[in-house]
Amino acid sequence: MTNDDAPISPALPRTGAVPATGGRVPGSLLRLSDFEPAALKRAVELAREMKRDPGGWLHSLRGAALGCIFEKPSTRTRVSLATAAHRLGMHSMVISRDDMQLVHGETWADTAQVLSSYLDAITLRTYEHTTVEQLAGRSSVPVVNALSDDHHPCQALADLLTLTEHFGTLAGLTVAFVGDGLSNTCNSFLEACASTGMHLTVATPPGHEPAASLLAEARATMAATGGSVTVTADPAEAVRTAQAVYAEVWVPMHKRHERAERAQRFAVYRVDRELLDRAAPGAVVLHCLPAVRGEEITSDVLDGPRSLVWRQAANRLPTAQAVLHTLVTAAQS
Ligand SMILES: NC(=O)NCCC[C@H](N)C(=O)O
């Protein structure tokens, strides 16, 4: 590569404080476990600082550019990333897959090579997880997975911030996930529990248990962090000692064609008052949204006093800000 080919990174002064590091920062965030536990803890702490002082980082990435590619609908992720970029002084742009030469057969790898010569970070919401791996594999700037069929690390960061705010300490917390154990939300929450030492029970129908490889990786991490993971088909058993109960849609975006059979298969995996009354006293409720009221969660629970769901959604913004800041700053240093 000649000097003329080198990607130009913005040379404008950064006025935001650079956070103390806490563990190795990954080049890209494709799944939550890309963060070592110490770096993950630091990212959540940074998100807390950014939430307390949203305007304090306005110039920290001034002149940098973020490209957000979406192959699936997005409400929270799209807007929180754009606003997070704005609060860091970055320019952000939404790029529809259908408006790029990908539709005429250009590969993700070639697209990554070109886009990363213009941008300082790229986010992608896509289907197969291998797509985000292909993009990151040829990108010279950080790639953030804005949801793939298998992982949703941005959501898990907001989950951790929400639980930290409510409980203070995460290590030793007992939590239950009720729904599809194969979902991106469950996978990333499992990795979040592993990194922070929480005790997770997943209640899911037979055949929907998290992948054996993911469980093995989580258990290996938990050997150091002190957490645990159990899988059961019985939602009542799963929530029995839970201090937080996580509900999740029965039909994720990439499984719309399975709507009818899933409605039957998941019918007992509903977080309602009756199930919540079986959890630990004062147990709180999480849901990544969008919710199908009356299916996986009832309205009285979603809007009730034990719901942290709206705060959890709001926490997508400071956590997105922390992720972008952490990755882009590390890549440029
Ligand atoms: N909070 C979000 O980003 N929600 C998007 C939907 C997540 C759901 N697990 C899905 O894949 O359809």
Question: Considering the domain boundaries, does residue 299 fall inside one?
Answer: yes
DSSP-assigned beta bridge partners for residue 67: 93, 122
The residues pairing with 65 across neighbouring beta strands, listed in sequence order, are 91
Asked if residues 326 and 19 have their Cβ atoms less than 8 Å apart, the reply is yes
Q: Which residues contact residue 320 at a Cβ distance below 8 angstroms, ignoring those fewer than 6 apart?
A: 77, 80, 81, 83, 84, 154
Instruction: With respect to residue 309, please indicate whether it lies within any of the assigned structural domains.
Output: yes
17 in any annotated domain: no
Does residue 15 carry a pLDDT above 50? no
Query: Do 118 and 130 belong to one domain?
Result: yes
* Helix, strand, or coil (residue 70): strand
Average pLDDT of span 112-122: 98
- Do residues 95 and 200 both lie within one domain? no
Neighbours of 202 (CB within 10 A): 27
**Taking the chain, what is the end-to-end CA distance rounded to the nearest angstrom?**
20
How many domains, in total, are found in the chain?
Answer: 2
- Residue closest via CA to ligand 1's atom 8 equals 252
Alpha-carbon distance of 80 to 328, in angstroms, equals 17
Say yes or no: 106 and 196 in one domain.
Answer: no
- Which residues does ligand 1 sit against, CB inside 6 Å? 76-77, 147, 155, 183-185, 249, 252-253, 288-289
Atom of ligand 1 nearest to the CA of 253: 12
The Cα–Cα gap between 197 and 297 comes to 27
Percent of the chain exceeding pLDDT 90 equals 92
- Asked, for residue 191, whether it belongs to a domain, the answer is yes
Answer yes or no: do 161 and 123 share one domain: no
165 and 91 housed in the same domain: no
Whole-complex ipTM: 0.97
Question: The domain containing residue 194 runs over which residues?
Answer: 155-313
Could you tell which of 70, 148, 185, 249 is best to mutate to test the pocket of ligand 1, judged by most ligand atoms within 8 Å of the CB? 185
20 in any annotated domain: no
The token pair that represents 230 in the structure block = 């159990």
Q: Which atom of ligand 1 is nearest to the CA of 313?
A: 1
> Between 9 and 256, whose confidence is greater?
256
Tens-place pLDDT, residues 75-101: 999 999 999 999 999 999 999 999 999
CA distance 272 to 327: 39
Indicate whether 119 pLDDT > 70.
yes
CA of 59 to the centre of ligand 1 (A): 31
Answer yes or no: do 71 and 220 share one domain: no
pLDDT tens for 220-249 read 999 999 999 999 999 999 999 999 999 999
The pLDDT of residue 23 is 82
- To the question of pTM greater than 0.80 for the whole model, the response is yes
Q: Looking at the structure, do residues 234 and 272 belong to the same domain, yes or no? A: yes
User: Quick check: helix, strand or coil at residue 132?
Assistant: helix
Is residue 219 in some structural domain?
yes
Residue 126 shares a structural domain with residue 41: yes
Q: Are residues 299 and 327 in the same domain?
A: no
> How many Å apart are CA 194 and CA 198, to the nearest integer?
6
Number of Cβ atoms within 10 Å of the Cβ of 151: 25
Q: Are 221 and 84 within one domain? A: no
For the cut 60, the answer to whether the pLDDT of residue 190 exceeds it is yes
- Per-chain mean pLDDT for the chain: 94
- pLDDT for 321 equals 98
- In sequence order, what are the beta bridge partners of 287? 247
Would you state the pLDDT for residue 20? 52
* 1 assigned to some structural domain: no
In a domain, 27, yes or no: no
- Residue 10 has a pLDDT of 37
Residues 91 and 141 in one domain: yes
CATH number of the domain residue 327 falls in? 3.40.50.1370
218 and 296, same domain (yes or no): yes
Distances (CA, A) of 274 to 156, 190, 292, 301: 26, 25, 18, 10
